[in-house]
């Protein structure tokens, strides 16, 4: 009898057994971004494969909507009000890292914010903060909705977004991300609040 496939909430965090050579706090932010890029890419690929259309070209085009520098920058801007001080510091390190390369289809600021987003993903992955990592990645799927909900919920701040928090504003934000319309159906003209000056 074939082994039963694990459900998503039962996946082993020890899928890959090569921990980093240093504590996550000590790793170069570009190293964190390097692994964060791979983790986020895998998350997005699984997300698009969960959709009804399985045509490879459609999968690629859909995934690109999320993994581009522009999309990751937009997601980070929407998520900024929800980040803890520790996470914000990691984002700043990622944004300020000198990579020596630029994205082909993004401006410098978008590219830096994209790197900062990937740095945060890599950091949370190596910290084994899987619940928080999943929340951030799920939220990144609909940045317009996150921006709208955080704007309407001033009490839903960084202090209440930790696992085990009880803030009702945070619960509304999480419900808004997991339930409701698809990203393509959410308000296309709504821009995330400009928090570039916070970084």
By annotation, the residues acting in catalysis are 37
**108-126 helix and 85-96 helix, angle to the nearest 10 degrees:** 130
Quote the CA–CA distance of 153 and 160 in Å, as a whole number. 12
Query: Which residues are CB-neighbours of 66 under 8 A, at least 6 positions away?
Result: 44, 47, 72, 75, 140, 141
d(CA 114, CA 126): 18
Q: How many other CB atoms sit within 10 Å of the CB of residue 100?
A: 6
CA separation for the pair 174, 187 (Å, rounded): 18
Helix (H, G, I), strand (E, B) or coil at 120: helix
Look at the block and give the residue holding tokens 């390369």.
101
């Amino acid at each position: 009898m074939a082994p039963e496939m694990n459900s998503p909430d039962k996946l082993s965090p020890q899928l890959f057994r090569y921990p980093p050579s240093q504590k996550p706090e000590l790793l170069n932010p570009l190293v964190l971004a390097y692994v964060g890029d791979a983790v986020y890419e895998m998350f997005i690929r699984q997300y698009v494969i969960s959709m009804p259309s399985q045509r490879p070209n459609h999968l690629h085009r859909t995934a690109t909507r999320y993994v581009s520098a522009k999309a990751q920058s937009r997601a980070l801007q929407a998520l900024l009000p929800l980040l803890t001080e520790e996470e914000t510091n990691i984002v700043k390190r990622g944004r300020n890292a000198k990579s020596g390369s630029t994205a082909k289809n993004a401006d410098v600021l978008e590219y830096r914010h994209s790197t900062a987003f990937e740095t945060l993903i890599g950091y949370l992955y190596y910290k084994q903060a899987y619940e928080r990592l999943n929340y951030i990645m799920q939220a990144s799927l609909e940045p317009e909705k996150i921006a709208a909900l955080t704007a309407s919920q001033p009490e839903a701040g960084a202090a209440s977004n930790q696992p085990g928090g009880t803030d009702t504003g945070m619960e509304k934000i999480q419900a808004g991300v997991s339930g409701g319309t698809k990203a393509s159906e959410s308000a296309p003209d709504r821009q995330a609040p400009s928090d570039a000056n916070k970084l």
